[in-house]
Structure 1
Amino acid sequence: MLCYFFIVGLIFLFVEKENRFIRFHALQSVFLGVALIIISMVLPFIPIIGWMLSIWLPLLVLALVVFLMYQAYNGKYYKLPLLGDITEKQLK
């Protein structure tokens, strides 16, 4: 569950070598953090729609992270649509 705090996800990724569940959620959180940084940098340059989405982005990110934390707490491998597949490929 703690993996979804961006920096903590990096720590878990480097510290945990054997538990696939923890490594999956740590790596997915790192990919999510990188994707969100890129999205937050691009959105302000898109007229009108980008500006409106950039206002709502923090609330959407908070809801997504809380949902992912809940899924991890319950012991579920919840894969995000694109990032989950990339995460599984990296863990093999």
Structure 2
Amino acid sequence: MSVYKSSTGLDENIAAILCYLFAFLGAFVFVMLEKRSRFVLFHALQSIFLFVALMIGHVLAGFIPLLGPLLASLLTLAGLALWMTLLVRAGQGKWLKLPWVGELALRQARQM
């Protein structure tokens, strides 16, 4: 349990979990509402960027003959593993920064 509160009144780690648990919807809500916690903003932005990247990957895999379904399946498994890992780490109050999307999320959170 986090001792720090988000500007929404929730503990930071609970707010960060909700950013991943409800993917786009939860993350967009926290990007709009969060005014104080860089931790929550980071996780909200990383959630958005990660799931957008996974969706783009799935669309692109659909254009690849023969190997597309295999790539899409691998993306699904990777996405599920990332989602579960990020949920747990956010609940622990950890800043798990993914390559590329985590860097982008961190830069954006610092500017907000």
Q: Is TM-score (shorter-chain normalized) higher than 0.5?
A: yes
Quote the residue 1:2 is aligned against.
18
Structure 2 CA distance, aligned partners of 1:46 and 1:73? 37
Quote the residue 2:86 is aligned against.
68
CA contact 2:19–2:47 (8 Å) conserved in 1: yes
Structure 1 position 79 matched with structure 2 position 97? yes
- 2:75 is aligned, of 57, 64, 75, to 57
Structure 1 position 22 matched with structure 2 position 40? yes
Unaligned 5+ runs, structure 1: none
Query: What root-mean-square deviation, in Å, do the aligned CA atoms of Structure 1 and Structure 2 show?
Result: 1.2
Runs of 4+ residues deviating >6 angstroms: none
Structure 2 CA distance, aligned partners of 1:84 and 1:17? 20
Aligned length: 92
AA at the equivalent of 1:88: L
AA at the equivalent of 1:58: T
**Deviation at 1:35?**
0.8
Structure 1 position 45 matched with structure 2 position 33? no
Identical-residue share of aligned pairs (%): 43
AA at the equivalent of 1:55: S
CA contact 2:57–2:75 (8 Å) conserved in 1: no
Unaligned 5+ runs, structure 2: 1-16
Instruction: Tell me which structure has the larger Cα radius of gyration.
Output: 2
Structure 1 CA distance, aligned partners of 2:61 and 2:41? 30
Task: Provide TM-score, normalisation by structure 1.
Answer: 0.91
Structure 2 CA distance, aligned partners of 1:40 and 1:51? 9
